[in-house]
Chains A and B, each alone.
Chain A
């Protein structure tokens, strides 16, 4: 007997269970229900069958958003799997002042995506620092429209995501590197293995499970991108609204007089469909790591 009254555990877990029901389970069920209605942000809603899904199939903006997601993922994946590993190897060694560098490299992670996008928006503007630099070096006769071109805007947002994510994945790698056998490393060093060979034959195999974990984390977050694209495009989604992400579309339809909660819910389920694979993989990898 670990406690006297049967309801004591429920008293302690009560608030969390209430939150589980009201703010997690019910919204999940309700998303499915709403996706079959024409509910509006201001209320109402009638059952309309598969109308929202039909609309999704014909929605060209959604097709653009899905293309954007795939491009986002394909570029983020290699960059954010490899660069943070190199960074982790750089700060792994216990040199004087290394804690300062580790903390400093983590700064972009703790900043809001809005803050980061505003700073970089100013750098990438037509009159911004980067265009100033390019002009001065004679590399561009006219300002490069980083923020108003359909593809350049997307690439700028991707650059921002990569820059902001470096420190986050660095810390995950750092945690893994601590577990890669130091003895193994030292043995290899004594045997005369060069630093490069040690990296290839000792470190890399040691962090392979972490690389897997990291790449799944990257995939999920690339599919969920919102703030960077929203702020860089001033909420417009770029020229012709072609630089929308799926989450931007969900936000767009969730509010205002032109909003459509039913359609936004159908888009939410679509987002779930494309993220559930990596999410399940993540849960499995997480359990294995624990």
Chain B
């Protein structure tokens, strides 16, 4: 007898959950282990052949101690500054430009759009050296502004917002025009309410991208007092590699805020996935 398509047998279901649990262990397990290590006391072995999974005497002391060795909270604040500039810049800049390109007809629009598209075939690493030269000539080396500025409006986000504005039904826009709405009113009252999903995706990934970025801040920053978290962590790893508990605490300070941001906004992301909005 052919079973219905959506009703697997109980055994099949159990096998599926078993596989799911196994993959869960492989993907999330290492993070949990690191979290556990960051909470282990100095008396507990983290290197031994069979380190226990759960800390016996959980302590937050490692988080205080890592701040004694490197200014980890300053690094976190620096990362937050960089990520905030990136989010505000991209949300505003990409929305405005995306709206203009999708909804307004103007001389030169096709050329500009073509140039935006052309930048997509250029991996960021290819221009990173001359990007550094540009930032240097602006006098911004070794500053957070220098880290944040080049990515403050990403070309991909402009194109994503343009696509989102194009999907807004033209009738809505036409009705607003008949009512005598100006460009700003059309953007705020007709456009924005209909592109919230894409705007959320842009915000989430801009934040994560800026917070996680390593290569660019590594090139721009020299002064260890101005490091962002990723660069600071690498520095910590190089200098004090003897104590994995401290490194674990450091990695958790870099990792947990991202988890919180993603968890609170993930419904927008997966809704986008099911609507086929995410194509890589």
Q: Which A residues form the contact surface with B (CB < 8 A)? A: 2-4, 6, 8-10, 12-13, 15-17, 19-20, 22-28, 30-31, 34, 39, 41, 43, 87, 90-91, 93-95, 99, 101-108, 110-115, 118-123, 127-129, 132-133, 135-136, 163, 166-168, 171-172, 174-175, 178-179, 182, 185-186, 189-190, 192, 213-214, 217, 220, 224, 226-227, 230-231, 234-235, 247, 250-251, 253-255, 261, 264-265, 268-269, 271-272, 275-276, 279-280, 282-283, 286, 289-290
- By DSSP majority rule, is chain B's interface helix, strand, loop, or mixed? helix
Question: In the bound complex, how far is the Cα of B270 from the Cα of A107, in angstroms?
Answer: 13
Q: Which of B33, B208, B259, B279 contacts A172 (CB 8 A)?
A: B279
- By DSSP majority rule, is chain A's interface helix, strand, loop, or mixed? helix
Segment from B55-63, B64-72, B150-158, B192-200 that makes contact with A: B150-158
22 A-B pairs whose Cβ atoms sit less than 8 Å apart in the complex: A2-B177, A4-B182, A12-B104, A13-B96, A13-B100, A16-B93, A19-B153, A95-B17, A112-B258, A114-B233, A122-B248, A135-B49, A167-B27, A168-B280, A172-B280, A175-B278, A234-B237, A250-B128, A251-B218, A254-B132, A272-B126, A289-B279
Q: Is the CB of A119 within 8 A of B251?
A: yes
Q: Is the CB of A20 within 8 A of B155?
A: yes
Query: Is B116 close to A, CB under 8 A?
Result: yes
**Contacts A213-B279, A226-B215 known; A250 to B93 CB distance under 8 Å?**
no
Question: In the bound complex, how far is the Cα of B31 from the Cα of A163, in angstroms?
Answer: 13
Question: In the bound complex, how far is the Cα of B126 from the Cα of A269, in angstroms?
Answer: 7
Q: Which of B50, B100, B122 contacts A12 (CB 8 A)?
A: B100
- A235 contacts which chain B residues (CB < 8 A)? 234, 238
User: Which positions 22-63 of chain B face chain A at CB distance < 8 Å?
Assistant: 23-24, 26-28, 30-31, 33-34, 37, 47-51
Q: Which of B106, B158, B276 contacts A16 (CB 8 A)?
A: B158
Most buried by B among A9, A213, A254: A9
Q: Which B residues form the contact surface with A (CB < 8 A)? A: 2-6, 8, 13, 16-17, 19-20, 23-24, 26-28, 30-31, 33-34, 37, 47-51, 92-94, 96-97, 99-101, 103-107, 109, 112, 115-117, 119-123, 125-134, 136, 149-150, 152-153, 155, 158, 163, 177, 182-183, 187, 208, 211-215, 218-219, 222, 229-230, 233-234, 237-238, 244, 247-248, 250-251, 254-255, 258-259, 262-263, 266, 270, 273-274, 276-280
Closest beta carbon of chain A to B152's beta carbon, Å: 7
**Contacts A87-B23, A95-B16, A271-B125 known; A2 to B152 CB distance under 8 Å?**
no
Most buried by B among A13, A22, A261: A13
**Can you name the residue of chain B whose Cβ is closest to the Cβ of A166?**
B27
Question: In the bound complex, how far is the Cα of B47 from the Cα of A8, in angstroms?
Answer: 63
**Contacts A9-B106, A31-B126 known; A234 to B131 CB distance under 8 Å?**
no
Q: Which of A28, A112, A123, A282 contacts B214 (CB 8 A)?
A: A112
- B23 contacts which chain A residues (CB < 8 A)? 87, 90, 101, 105
Question: In the bound complex, how far is the Cα of B10 from the Cα of A95, in angstroms?
Answer: 12
**Can you name the residue of chain A whose Cβ is closest to the Cβ of B137?**
A43
**Contacts A15-B96, A121-B237, A122-B244 known; A247 to B259 CB distance under 8 Å?**
no
Q: Is the CB of B254 within 8 A of A103?
A: no
- A132 contacts which chain B residues (CB < 8 A)? 47-51
Question: In the bound complex, how far is the Cα of B244 from the Cα of A119, in angstroms?
Answer: 9
**Contacts A90-B20, A95-B16, A254-B128 known; A247 to B233 CB distance under 8 Å?**
no
**Can you name the residue of chain B whose Cβ is closest to the Cβ of A263?**
B129
